[in-house]
Amino acid sequence: MSAQNHPRIVVTAGEPAGIGLDLCAMLAWKAIPASIVVIADHNALKNRATMLSLSLQIQDFKHGDSIPQHAGNGQLYVLHQPASAAVSAGELNPVNSTYVLKTLTTAIDGCVNHEFDAMVTAPVHKGVINDAGIAFTGHTEFLAEYTDTSQVVMMLVGGGMRVALTTTHLPLNAVSAAITQESLENTIRILHHDLVTRFGIKTPKILVAGLNPHAGESGYLGYEEIETITPVLERLRAENMQLIGPLPADTLFTPHHLANADCVLAMYHDQGLPVLKYASFGGGVNVTLGLPIIRTSVDHGTALDLAGKGNIEIGSLLAAIDLAIELAQRQSTQ
């Protein structure tokens, strides 16, 4: 926390051809109870602001500078990370992938060494980073690897729900094999631990989805519920965790089930996230659990079609910053 006791948040601007730069420029006009430093290419950010007719005033941030609470008066503190190639709104260039990853590692390092209290990420484009010859499936996996964390959990918050995932960015045909008793148990332990410590929920109630239609229909539609999910839930219930399931995913997201639950654990990305995004797109937040640092993110992608055009929603970035502030404040009191 700063000397004035407000959280210090670092925001990575994401894929420069996408709307991350637009969001960061717009952020300069939002008052926020935290200090904010954006990591981006100074000139690319200035140019994007000009495209949006925003007269952004960039203050260059240097490591060690102390900065005031974000006033929302058009000023933005920017840690300049030079892009590797010229930036053009809407046009991906694999050459800039190293720049994108450098913004991430700079933010992670800043959180690990306590220069910042939390990092918030604008969207990156997974495909173009791979086009550059760098294997990359998402921030979540990148953060885990860079911080040497063996397992993390992706959770989205929005629309009155929290939805965590057992597996993240995997082809569908690899999902079943990736869900082992060990990986599921670790996922639930991380989820439970962070709901208690980071979110302040004393005894979290977690709804756990089955993998197969109708949660396997007693084995007639698949065995993962019987062989993998149920034994793990029974083991962890013996430790007094409140775990309901495995429940059929098609009826789990109904008011009846959700009313008293703190979180849903889905088995894979597109089992859980379409429901949450339907309920909250543009206002949802992605948070990585199990990391040694606090990281939240927007719930949407790079929206290349909208970059530089001036008609985007900033709600998800603001919600991600709000959650980062909440988590940082709770951590500072522990």
Ligand X SMILES: NCC(=O)COP(=O)(O)O
Ligand Y SMILES: NC(=O)C1=CN([C@@H]2O[C@H](COP(=O)(O)OP(=O)(O)OC[C@H]3O[C@@H](n4cnc5c(N)ncnc54)[C@H](O)[C@@H]3O)[C@@H](O)[C@H]2O)C=CC1
Residue ranges at the known binding site: 139-140, 169, 214, 269, 277, 286, 295
Partner touching 90 among ligand X, ligand Y, none, CB below 5 to 8 Å by kind: none
Q: Kindly write out the interface string for residues 274-293 of this chain, putting x where it contacts ligand X by CB under 6 A and - elsewhere.
A: ------------x-------
Quote the CA–CA distance of 301 and 96 in Å, as a whole number. 17
Tell me which of 313, 326, 330, 331 binds ligand Y, using CB under 6 A: 313
Element housing 299 (H / E)? none
192 vs 295 by CB, closer to ligand X: 295
In this structure, the strands spanning 161-165 and 263-266 are parallel
CA distances from 167 to 122, 150, 153 (A): 22, 14, 8
Shortest distance (Å) from residue 143 CB to ligand X: 8
Site membership for ligand Y, residue 129 (CB under 6 A): no
- Strands in the chain per DSSP E: 8-12, 35-40, 57-60, 75-80, 118-121, 153-158, 161-165, 205-209, 242-247, 263-266, 285-289, 295-298
Using the contact rule CB under 6 A, the part of the chain among 72-80, 106-114, 125-133, 236-244 near ligand Y is: 125-133
Contacts to ligand X from residues 136-155, by CB under 6 A: 138-140
How many other CB atoms sit within 10 Å of the CB of residue 44?
22
Q: Is 97 in the site for ligand X (CB under 6 A)?
A: no
In 198-268, where does DSSP find H-type helix?
Answer: 224, 230-237, 249-252, 255-258
- As measured in angstroms, the least distance from the Cβ of 207 to ligand X is 20
**Nearest in space to 307 (alpha carbons), one of 59, 87, 36:** 87
- Residue ranges binding ligand Y (CB under 6 A): 19, 121, 123-127, 139, 282, 286, 297-298, 300-303, 305-306, 312-313
- Residue ranges binding ligand X (CB under 6 A): 138-140, 273, 286, 297
